[in-house]
Amino acid sequence: MTNETKVKELGTVSIRFSGDSGDGMQLAGNIFSNLSAVLGNEIITFPDFPAEIRAPHGTLSGVSGFQVNVGSKKVHTPGDKTDVLVAMNPAALKVNAGFLNSDSVVIIDSDSYTQKDLEKALFQTEDPFKELGLNSVQVVAAPITTMCKDCLADLGDNKQALRSRNIFALGLVCWLFNRPVDVAEHMLKEKFGKKPAVLDANLRVLNAGFNYGHNIHATVSTYRIETTPSEKGFYTDINGNKAVAYGLIAAAEKAGLQLFLGSYPITPATDIMQELAARKELGVKVVQAEDEIAGICTAIGASFAGSLAATNTSGPGLALKSEAIGLAVMAELPLVVVDVQRSGPSTGMPTKSEQTDLMQALYGRNGESPAVVMSAISPTDCFDAAYWASKLALEHMTPVILLTDGYLANGSSAWRIPDLEKYPEIKPNYVPKGLENWKPYLRDPETKVRYWAVPGTEGFTHRIGGLEKDFTTSIISTNPENHQLMVDTRQAKIDKIADFIPEQEVLGDKDADTIVIGWGGTYGHLCEAIENVQAAGKKVALAHFRFINPLPKNTEEILSKYKKAIVIEQNNGQFANFLRSKIHGFDPYQFNRVKGQPFMVARLVEEIEKIMISD
């Protein structure tokens, strides 16, 4: 029988690697993503981890996935549905069946589809594809486990053969997408170069998987994705957590300050701490404290001492840090707090993503405690967002809470390493030279920002703390009128920041009647949704917010131009309600989902179009 392979040329293709937590799906997906980026494709990735540390092998709760959307043009999301699924066991097939396109290619390890495996995944019959109604997919059933063992038989190490199944699947996917394996080989050498035996085994099975693709006697589609020229520069594949770390480092360099991170491990924010801890050569100081409260308190101490200080956490940790953030508000110290949002309440679903910490970031402290709140909108934008958060904290002497989320933190895309010279300068609000009669809470008369006196500088001996101070003398005060003045002054300082941030941009059709409003990590999905609505011949605009408190000063002006506004977010309406409180008479439509998973673009399009035609 001859090979009747069909070649599909597509603008974008979505691939999902899926199997047990220990099957190495994240590694295979990362290598394929990096390989595609090196070859000039646009990529967006979505690692989807189970919340369980190690669920029973072959069960539905233990399925781990890595999805990547590869394109010849700009891609905004990992894709609603997949064109290719690698399902290493029946559980992976069952969990992902609902996300397959009708003619998808499904690669399975037939050795892992025994009766016992099917029972673990709760299948009732011996034909999982028929049972799931997957009658039109193209199945590549390869005995991956057997072939890995045969390929490595001379090593006499069955455990290594089992550990290499993901790389065999990677080789097969490289064939499917007409990808040269030499780039993948280079990446494996970088990862396993210090383990020659492991490297040798992985190189063997990679090529075995690639060659198997050439030799299979089956009709299956292969894919070709053209590449487009990119702006010249150095590129790397980066996820949101690493981008945040680099943004903090860049800001410290720009400000001429040492970067200090006080932190405590928490999913999905820990990688920020790990990345900064590895950057000792850049002068970064990291303290892994005994708990969340100690982590932020060490950062506040470092800020008092004159460093760019930061702490990173997730929603439960932000709750624990709330009193200390209030201390930084009252002491008026620069501090960057990175909250990588995850599903709650409480411990919730630690590996899943939401936008449910906004109200906590805005108001989750005792007393009147205004702080700047920002959000990052993409994995690569996490760099710019961290840089801006640092700039605002240092120049306006305030805590800045930067909201990312699990989707941004773990997802990645190709990033052009920026020219730091093109970034705005950062000027910490130090005590001006020659200023007479300085007091710790003496302020710039225009911005209301207090001057920063670094301890150890002659003539600037002082104390600050968590008790109210007198506006004039800076000593402790319980005077009612003074407290009202200090509360109003701290709020005015935050409000004034609107003059120092970019105005809000509107994408899409400026003359549309309907505007879609979002914030944070939903940017890519909303962009693709309005592009699809426009492609259907309808006019729609998009305002996606990075700066939340204070809002850009043109917010009310632009939102008042549209007959209909739709606020779309992954919570029950927190930003919509915030906008209602800030803009008189503003009453938008809402679309809210809190599922721990990214939006489906097709569902967004359906909802937007339904609201557009409603009375």
Task: Tell me how far apart the alpha carbons of residues 509 and 512 are, in angstroms, rounded to a whole number.
Answer: 5
Look at residues 368, 400, 422 and tell me which one is the last residue of a structural domain: 422
Could you tell me the pTM of the whole model? 0.94
At 256, the amino acid letter reads: G
For Cα atoms 472, 476, 479, give the angle at the middle one, nearest 5 degrees. 75
526 assigned to some structural domain: yes
3-class secondary-structure state, position 337: strand
Question: Are 52 and 156 within one domain?
Answer: yes
Structure tokens at 139: 């199945």
Question: Are 408 and 263 within one domain?
Answer: yes
Task: Tell me how far apart the alpha carbons of residues 461 and 451 are, in angstroms, rounded to a whole number.
Answer: 13
CA atoms within 13 A on the CB side of 610: 9
Summarize pLDDT for 219-274 with one digit per residue, the tens.
Answer: 677 787 776 666 778 888 899 999 999 999 999 999 999 999 999 999 999 999 99
Look at residues 402, 422, 442 and tell me which one is the last residue of a structural domain: 422
3-class secondary-structure state, position 524: helix
Question: Are 319 and 418 within one domain?
Answer: yes
Task: Tell me how far apart the alpha carbons of residues 210 and 205 are, in angstroms, rounded to a whole number.
Answer: 8
88 assigned to some structural domain: yes
Residue written as tokens 């594809």? 129
Question: Are 87 and 164 within one domain?
Answer: yes
Question: Are 217 and 300 within one domain?
Answer: no
Task: Tell me how far apart the alpha carbons of residues 208 and 280 are, in angstroms, rounded to a whole number.
Answer: 41
Structure tokens at 376: 């990052």
First to last CA, the chain: 61
578 assigned to some structural domain: yes
Task: Tell me how far apart the alpha carbons of residues 552 and 544 are, in angstroms, rounded to a whole number.
Answer: 11
Domain with residue 562: its CATH number is 3.40.50.920
Question: Are 259 and 326 within one domain?
Answer: yes
- How many separate domains does the chain show? 3
Question: Are 406 and 260 within one domain?
Answer: yes
537 assigned to some structural domain: yes
Task: Tell me how far apart the alpha carbons of residues 326 and 235 are, in angstroms, rounded to a whole number.
Answer: 40
Residue burial 173-195, b: 16+ Cβ < 10 Å; e: rest: bbbbbebebebbbebbeeebeee
30 assigned to some structural domain: yes
**Blockwise average pLDDT, block size 10, the chain, 615 residues:** 55 94 93 89 92 85 95 90 96 96 94 96 96 95 95 86 94 92 93 92 96 76 73 85 98 98 97 97 97 98 97 98 98 98 94 96 97 97 98 98 97 92 96 91 96 91 92 96 98 98 96 97 97 97 98 97 97 98 96 96 97 89
Question: Are 293 and 395 within one domain?
Answer: yes
Domain with residue 294: its CATH number is 3.40.50.970
Look at residues 199, 224, 249 and tell me which one is the last residue of a structural domain: 224
380 assigned to some structural domain: yes
**Residue 47 neighbours by CB under 8 Å, 6+ apart:** 26, 29, 65, 66, 67, 410, 411
Domain with residue 118: its CATH number is 3.40.920.10
**Residue 537 neighbours by CB under 8 Å, 6+ apart:** none
Domain encompassing residue 296:
236-422
Q: What are phi and psi of 29, to 5 degrees?
A: -65, -40
Question: Are 57 and 179 within one domain?
Answer: yes
Summarize pLDDT for 551-580 with one digit per residue, the tens.
Answer: 999 999 999 999 999 999 999 999 999 999
483 assigned to some structural domain: no
Question: Are 69 and 16 within one domain?
Answer: yes
For Cα atoms 158, 161, 165, give the angle at the middle one, nearest 5 degrees. 145
Question: Are 130 and 155 within one domain?
Answer: yes
477 assigned to some structural domain: no
Q: Are strands 541-545 and 100-109 parallel, antiparallel or unpaired?
A: unpaired
Question: Are 179 and 146 within one domain?
Answer: yes
Neighbours of 227 (CB within 10 A): 12
